[in-house]
Amino acid sequence: MYVVANRFTVTEGQGEAFVERFEQSMSGVEDEPGFVRFDLLVPADDRNVYVAQNYWETREDFEAWMDSESFQRAHADQPPAEMFADHPTLEQYETAITRE
């Protein structure tokens, strides 16, 4: 499995609006080939770091999504710069061990 994590440091007081934007923008990704799951993790502490995690069957599936109309729609309406305290960080992983 291929996992992509995008970490966002959200400005104080912008968390609810940030979650709402993701709720609206991620529709359609579930229909993409190789898509497994999407999670938006909200902070359980006071760091204001939110993590958007996408799970894909393969790296190629993720890359194909990035070239898709679904990706373009999800990223068409960019959030205001003041929503973030820092630039997002994109991390990509291959799964080594899974237990469920």
The verdict on residue 70 lying in a domain is yes
- In a domain? residue 99: no
Determine, yes or no, domain membership for 54. Answer: yes
DSSP summary character for residue 42: -
Strands, E assignment, 10-100? 35-41, 49-56, 89-94
CB atoms within 10 A of CB 95: 9
- Supply the range of the domain harboring residue 40: 2-94
Q: Are 36 and 82 in contact (CB under 8 A)?
A: no
CB 100, CB 25: distance < 8 Å: no
Give per-residue pLDDT as tens, 6-57.
Answer: 999 999 999 999 999 988 877 788 999 999 999 999 999 988 999 999 999 9
Pairwise pLDDT comparison (34 vs 75), residue with the higher score: 34
pLDDT of residue 67: 94
Total count of domains within the chain? 1
CATH number at residue 67: 3.30.70.100
